[in-house]
Structure 1
């Protein structure tokens, strides 16, 4: 009998919305994409001020039931990413070491997979840390059917800041998919005459540049520029 995994995702908050310590959005397990053994969450986050272990999101009926959970270290802006395992209810990492700046938008991605035995964290499309399960035959990630809290949970207060583009996926996003999500979340400005634009390679995040590079395509070893031409059609 063949089994097919259906990839589903939902944008739970488009936003941006302001969040205080007492604010929360709650989503029932049945209203989320069905998760088997993998999940991912992406969001845009801006922290206004520090507080005591504030919750960004937490799925579970109790604080020790926490797959997934993301909060900030007390009175810092270091990401505290955790999940529950069958050997320990509090497993994960803290990143980045220097924390996030206040009053600045960041794109955060949390990806978790039991088959791959790992938790990964990305900030602005860049992989910044992971936790790997070493006892792979015995230790497993414990998922749950509790509600998903964005902001305040039953036991902890929420963040002081703003959240937008909160997305819940029932698979582990690849680094390329995280980068695509980050690029698509970046605030966009209209392109007008005189605008400066850059071309970016989606999978690496690297920008196309010609400064200081000469291409041997002509008799005079000329350096070639890249031009983008935009057409506007007014179709009625």
Structure 2
């Protein structure tokens, strides 16, 4: 499959910015991260972090980090490839709160520091999803998975599987500093005001990212 030549931003600048921004975020958010660690330990038995193998760039497997939001036994027996929904009874009360504000995903800042992930890119998919992808969708593995992405600021959970893939490939074809900046700003807005309100505001004022 043909791969477009990577520009200077994608080859060098993006990784430098990823590392610096992730490091800055960890430093600024360290009080919050420490509180989350303490609350998880007080809330239920089990490890602070949930780790799971995910395919990254060029389908190279890596361990993705999340703050644990489920009961310990549920984590132990969770099957790879089975997506957890928000109404799952195995999710703790604290876990629901962490998921609502995307705080559980902040552990992936350490994946970014390690170089497994980028701040912006297609979200790391479950391994079992690979066999569901058509050839054009496999281009998602041409880049590192991201903490947030174009699909996440254009409907996310309201999008169909193929719609998410279309946004992911559109991002890969148009990667730029300005696009990354726009996605980061929109992601912050979604976390602060909620996905429903953000999408309604986007539809009325901007018409969304088409």
Q: Say whether the fold is shared (TM-score over 0.5).
A: no
Higher RCO structure, 1 or 2 (CA under 8 Å, sep 6+): 1
Rg: which structure is higher? 1
What is the TM-score when the length of structure 1 is the normalising length?
Answer: 0.26
What is the TM-score when the length of structure 2 is the normalising length?
Answer: 0.28
